[in-house]
Amino acid sequence: MTVEARSLLVAQTWDGQPAPRSDWVKVDLALSLEDILVTIDAPFHGDAPPPTPPGPTPGLWNHEVVELFLLGEGDHYLELELGPHGHFLVLELVGRRHVVREIPTLDYRVRQLGDRFIGQARIPLAWLPAGVHSLNAYAVYGAEDARQYLAWRGAPGHRPDFHRLETFGALGWDEQLAQVLVPVRTGTRRAGRAARR
């Protein structure tokens, strides 16, 4: 059962300029009692896939990818990267670019439909940083000098930097998350206490 939904349109370059309509990416988020279903509808640019089988892929940001960042209290954030060939990367960070954990599993499914790809990933609520309040989404494609960087919330600067947390936009789910996260976290704490016994 969906509790709340949110849709983002990645339609700017990294520095806040309008991007060509053919490059736009739609990112839908649907909050349920168990997880957030992330659905991406993105152009497929035909970049070569990573040289590894689909699944967890370090350095996926060097390939064609759509990224979602979810920011919580104390600059604690979750980075989700989804590729058109079934590769993904999930990172937990505390402080800019300071990775504290790589999550090796993700329920991620993708299909290519001509010149587009549709991906769906489920983020368990337990993965969310405490007090999650802001987010941003990005798309990257192309090679070397032709590489393109798009953002939901772009900002001027000297070079693309997806970890500029001050540019993130409000998630707007404070009330809804409070309702669904209390049972999840309470259950997690109880399970932890039981395990220690």
Could you read off the pLDDT of 117-159 as tens digits, one per residue? 999 999 999 999 999 999 999 999 998 889 999 999 998 888 9
Residues 6+ apart with CB under 8 A from 42: 25, 26, 66, 84, 116, 117, 118, 119, 139
Give me the residue label for tokens 């998350």.
177
| Tens digits of residue pLDDT in 86-102 | 999 999 999 999 999 99
Number of Cβ atoms within 10 Å of the Cβ of 55: 14
Q: How far apart are CA 57 and CA 55, in angstroms?
A: 6
pTM of the model: 0.90
Q: In order of start, what are the domains of the chain with their CATH numbers?
A: 2-196 (2.60.40.1190)
Sole residue written with tokens 């329920």? 107
Secondary-structure breakdown of the chain: helix, strand, coil percentages, each rounded to the nearest 5: 20, 45, 35
What share of the chain has pLDDT > 70, as a percent? 92
pLDDT digits (tens, 9 = 90+) for 49-73: 999 999 999 999 999 999 999 999 9
